[in-house]
Chain A
Amino acid sequence: MANSVWVFAEVKDGKIKKVTFEMLSEGKKMAEKLGGDLSALLLGQNVGSLAEQLGHYGADKVYLAEHEALKDYTTDAYSKVIAELIKANEPSIVLYGATVLGKDLSPRVAARVEAGLATDCTGIGLDDSGKLTATRPMFAGKAYADISFSDSKPNMASIRPNALPVSPPDESKKAEVIKVDVNINPDDIRTTIQEFIKTAGERPDLTEAGVIVSGGRGMKGPENFKMLEELADVLGATVGASRAAVDAGWRNVSDQVGQTGKVVSPNLYIACGISGAIQHLAGMSTSKYIVAINKDPEAPIFQKADYGIVDDLFKVLPVLTEELKKLKAEG
């Protein structure tokens, strides 16, 4: 339908990801300006009960595609369902979260329906003619680019988690649920998931974490990251690492923050023993608040940090963890 804004609702472990609500909040404003409606795309198996929550966050309609072949994400099955929906309904704008899944799915769908796509956007809006515009970091955040799209529809963007504000949900709002006929043959899916090895605990992924505690060369060895884990436990944070710490083999590659690792935007980033190489700073400088703990007062990280402590991190960290525990106990 012309002028409608679509949001791909990403489900993980039976829950809708927060970035979905961020997109619905922004998408609602755009749909109102365009005089169109806001729709969410909900794919999976036994996920119908989640449609209600999408309504609370502003979705007028939920396209619900349920099928056993959609239980786990595969590029082939998900892109087929979404591309067919787009072709049949012709939305103006389609948004995805710039998550591992969203960044696998969105370019595949965009190429199939020949749509423009901007990746990992930190801002989106409409130009005077009602066309999507986007702002996105390049060079891991060393520069930003404004993006405009061609006149053909739809235009697409994937949105960086934590970049857009969430409007409070309205529990009186109800979305109209449209059941989608899913036609998937086994031959359509050319990848089969054989196993999933869980490596992380309950902590959110770095790219979606609200708080990150990160360690660098100054941690001196893998065993000392236990101190960061303890601090992270108190803060409900995810532990990250600099390239130096990863290349030394102290931490897993998936923990690396920076231009050749993950670009992160938490509310709070605590950098411990990280000097702040340009490629690391690029990956975390969109954090809302940055705390640096480093014994070298000349370390470049202090130029990006909101709060800095120039001291030995091995003395600071235990005190910080204790203080925060006390605070937590006080409620």
Chain B
Amino acid sequence: MNVVVCVKQVPDTESAIKVKPDGSDIIKDDLKYVMNPYDEYGIEEALRIKEKFGGVVTILCMGPGRAVETIRTGLAMGADQAVQLDDPAFEGGDAFATAKALAEALKGIEYGLIFCGKQAIDDDLSQVGASLAELLKLPQVSLIQKLEIADDKKSATVHRQVEGGIEILKVSLPAVLTTQKGLNEPRYASLPGIMKAKKKPLDVKNLAALGLSSDSVGCAGSKALITKYTPPPPRAAGKIIEGEGPQETVPKLVKLLREEAKMI
């Protein structure tokens, strides 16, 4: 079964995010970029499907030049080929504009399943998977933690994490599934894998190659746009509760929670 994994390059979770003084953007100079952690689960799951059923694993990634590193990581893990959507016109788009370009790029690719991370940890939108499913007229299941594909490959049973429990459902294929921590343990790229990745096909497509107009993607094609970035509201410095051991500090804490914070 052929599987497509949508991948995004994002700042590492350890990164401190600073906003430019004029609020026009975040400061990107010192950021270290990695593959969106939720997308790693998609690549690992795709590789397991390939190992079981055969097929081709394709990485689809929208991102500027630097995103090649993330794509190579996925190829080094074992994906077979990649398509990168790289054009200044794609930048600054909302999830729907991004999904439009991804859907267009998928037109020449054969697939039985598409994975997207449940959200990208930079913009935290949690929208691209569902938007892509809608544009492709496919069913979607979000937040999957377990996947079993039926022998006839026409359906799959998935476990998804919802409030208060695990929902088990059957979904017809092809489908878009969004991946969540707990699905698997993503493998590390091996040294031979890293060597092989350099020779795997990487097709870089710009706007013209997709055949889309510039006003349908990126900033121009978006209906919800960021107008300003701000740092998080500051928290006032807190109190360290002084005292000899819990017998003294705990009653003081309880008093503060009750009388000052009015929380209990």
Contacts and interface: CB of A to CB of B under 8 A. Distances in A.
Given A104-B140, A114-B96, A309-B253, A205 B166 contact: no
B252 to A, nearest CB: 9
Contacts of A320: 246, 250, 253-254
Most interface-central of B161, B180, B181 (chain A CB within 10 A):
B181
Given A12-B163, A116-B224, A260 B127 contact: no
B162 A100 contact: yes
A120 B124 contact: yes
A147 B168 contact: no
Interface size for chain B: under 10, 10 to 19, 20 to 34, or 35 or more residues? 35 or more
Interface string B217-232: 0000011111111111
Interface stretch (A46-54, A60-68, A285-293): A285-293
A12 B164 CA distance: 10
Given A108-B133, A146-B227, A319-B247, A119 B145 contact: no
Given A117-B95, A268-B263, A289-B263, A193 B168 contact: yes
A257 B92 CA distance: 28
A143 B26 contact: yes
A200 B249 contact: no
Nearest to A12: B163
B64 interface: no
A149 B161 contact: no
Interface in B164-198: 164-172, 175, 180-182
A311 interface: yes
Interface in A3-59: 12
Contacts of B51: none
A178 B201 CA distance: 56
Interface string A249-293: 000111010111101000110000000011100000110111110
Interface string B245-264: 11101110110111001011
A11 B161 CA distance: 18
A227 interface: no
A306 interface: yes
Contact of A110 (B127, B166, B264): B127
B11 interface: yes
A190 B139 contact: yes
B232 A147 contact: no
Given A103-B142, A138-B124, A307-B256, A190 B163 contact: no
Contacts of B246: 309, 311, 315-316, 319-320
A236 to B, nearest CB: 10
B229 A194 contact: no
A198 B164 contact: yes
Nearest to A318: B246
Contact of B139 (A75, A267, A277, A311): A75
A143 B28 CA distance: 13
Contacts of B143: 100, 104
A1 interface: no
A272 to B, nearest CB: 13
A226 to B, nearest CB: 18
Interface in B99-133: 99, 121-131, 133
Nearest to B162: A100
A268 B257 contact: yes
A100 to B, nearest CB: 5
A311 B222 CA distance: 51
Given A139-B26, A292-B238, 18 more contacts: A137-B124, A142-B232, A147-B226, A149-B224, A155-B223, A190-B172, A193-B167, A207-B163, A254-B161, A268-B257, A268-B261, A268-B263, A286-B232, A306-B235, A309-B253, A319-B247, A320-B246, A320-B253
19 contacts: A75-B139, A75-B141, A104-B130, A104-B142, A107-B134, A108-B140, A111-B96, A116-B223, A116-B225, A144-B229, A146-B227, A146-B229, A253-B181, A292-B238, A306-B238, A308-B239, A315-B246, A319-B247, A320-B250
Interface of B: 11, 13-17, 19, 26, 37-38, 94-96, 99, 121-131, 133-135, 139-143, 145, 157, 161-172, 175, 180-182, 222-233, 235-241, 245-247, 249-251, 253-254, 256-258, 261, 263-264
The 4 closest A-B pairs by CB, nearest first: A116-B223, A116-B224, A107-B130, A111-B134
